[in-house]
């Protein structure tokens, strides 16, 4: 890789003050860990972000969009690619009547505070989440936090798994971290709905070296001959499967029946053509399914009231359509 030539491209786009090479990611994560990124960029406009992405595609460089780095684990080896930091320069929050507009880098806590100041509801859940609007939307932050919500979620997963994969499986595996509670509540729901006892298992980000449950996994141990259904909230890039499928297959001689997620986002994956779910299927050779698709969610909520408010009006629908014209699966 010709770093000097690529650096010149980024500098022409952003100015040299906003382009860094070999920037320690430990300076930009709340855990204060992480080795150097090949390039660390700080754009000031959406046009600059688009230009950065085009350069990355031209140069076949992986890129990662960074918010405020909360709860982000970066290897000591760093990141071999381009980090695009949005937090500081994309944090504007505007309140107009009963509407809040916030850019991707706006802190959730600040948006919640602005909503409180304006007498608006709906952001209460976000007041204690240490992240940004962009990260929350992308990672489905804070969606299921109460007992009744988790119970209902487990039932949705159990019914979808039963419909798509039947009962011929032994273990529900939920990748850390969000997959842990999802696998637990789904195992409970499966027992209640279908009278079948399935085991749950999850991985740890760091291996535990003491106690009766030491090792890399939580819950039930994987055993030779187990049939496993993988389960998580959403699949954005397939990264979690990249990390956990080798762990699962390496722990015992198991068969992975398939993957179930809550929603198919219907965005193109890393390859730029197929969805992330389709890429996972092609890469690992097991079925992938979702409880609902983004298309179904939009169709159901468009101009329909929920708790007295229209969630997706015509203006938001147009914005969603525009987004999927550029990033959706064709």
What per-residue confidence (pLDDT) applies to 142? 57
Cα four-point dihedral sign 154, 156, 157, 158: positive
* Under 8 Å between Cβ of 100 and 119: no
> Cβ neighbours of residue 46 under 8 Å, at least 6 residues apart?
none
Hey, which residues are catalytic here? 208, 210
Instruction: Report the distance separating Cα 20 and Cα 24, nearest Å.
Output: 10
> What are the average pLDDT values for consecutive 10-residue runs of the chain, which has 330 residues?
89 95 95 94 94 92 90 89 92 89 91 91 80 78 74 95 96 89 95 96 76 76 96 80 91 96 87 87 95 93 87 88 85
CATH of the domain spanning 3-85: 3.30.43.10
What per-residue confidence (pLDDT) applies to 88? 85
Instruction: Report the distance separating Cα 205 and Cα 139, nearest Å.
Output: 18
C-alpha distance from residue 259 to each of 107, 139, 179, 271, 328 (Å): 32, 18, 12, 20, 21
What per-residue confidence (pLDDT) applies to 120? 87
Half-sphere exposure in the Cβ direction for 61 (13 Å, CA): 27
Asked if domains 3-85 and 147-296 share a fold, the reply is no
Helix (H, G, I), strand (E, B) or coil at 300: helix
Instruction: Report the distance separating Cα 184 and Cα 205, nearest Å.
Output: 18
Q: Where are the domains of the chain?
A: 3-85, 91-142, 147-296
Size of the chain, expressed as the number of residues it contains = 330
Instruction: Report the distance separating Cα 123 and Cα 135, nearest Å.
Output: 15
Residues 242-245: contacts with CB within 8 Å, 24+ apart?
243/175, 244/173, 244/175, 244/203, 245/284
Put residue 328 in one of left, alpha, beta given phi > 0 → left and psi -120 to 50 → alpha: beta
pTM of the model: 0.71
* Under 8 Å between Cβ of 168 and 227: yes
320 CB neighbour count, 10 Å cutoff = 17
Given the candidates 3.40.50.2020, 3.40.47.10, 3.50.50.60, 3.40.50.300, the CATH classification of the domain at 147-296 is 3.40.50.2020
Helix or strand (DSSP H, E) at 225: none
| Three-class SS of 139-205 | HCCCCCCCHHHHHHHHHHHHHHHHHHHCCCCCEEEECCCCHHHHHHHHHHHHHHHHCCCCEEEEEEE
């Amino acid at each position: 890789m010709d770093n000097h030539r690529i650096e010149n491209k980024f500098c022409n786009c952003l100015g040299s003050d906003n382009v860094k090479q070999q920037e320690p990611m430990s300076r930009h994560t709340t855990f204060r860990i992480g080795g150097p990124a090949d390039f660390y960029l700080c754009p000031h406009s959406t046009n600059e972000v688009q230009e950065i992405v085009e350069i990355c595609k031209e140069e076949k460089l992986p890129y990662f969009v960074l918010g405020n780095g909360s709860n982000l684990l970066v290897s000591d080896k760093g990141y071999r690619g381009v980090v695009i930091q949005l937090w500081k320069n994309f944090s504007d929050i505007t309140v107009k009547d009963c509407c809040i507009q916030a850019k991707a880098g706006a802190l959730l806590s600040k948006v919640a505070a602005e909503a409180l100041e304006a007498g608006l509801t709906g952001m209460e859940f976000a007041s204690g989440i240490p992240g940004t609007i962009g990260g929350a939307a992308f990672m489905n932050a804070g969606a299921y936090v109460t007992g009744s919500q988790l119970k209902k979620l487990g039932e949705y997963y159990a019914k979808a798994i039963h419909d798509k994969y039947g009962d011929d499986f032994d273990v529900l595996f939920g990748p850390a971290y969000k997959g842990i509670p999802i696998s637990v509540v789904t195992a409970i729901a499966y027992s209640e709905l279908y009278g079948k006892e399935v085991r749950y298992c999850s991985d740890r980000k760091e291996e535990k070296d003491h106690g009766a449950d030491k090792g890399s996994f939580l819950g039930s141990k994987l055993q030779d001959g187990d049939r496993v259904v993988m389960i998580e909230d959403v699949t954005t890039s397939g990264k979690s499967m990249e990390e956990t499928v080798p762990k699962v297959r390496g722990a015992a001689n198991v068969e992975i029946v398939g993957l179930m997620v809550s929603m198919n986002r219907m965005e193109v994956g890393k390859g730029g053509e197929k969805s992330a779910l389709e890429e996972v299927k092609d890469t690992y050779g097991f079925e992938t399914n979702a409880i609902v698709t983004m298309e179904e969610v939009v169709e159901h909520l468009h101009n329909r009231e929920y708790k007295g408010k229209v969630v997706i009006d015509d203006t938001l629908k147009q914005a969603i359509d525009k987004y999927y014209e550029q990033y959706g699966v064709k």
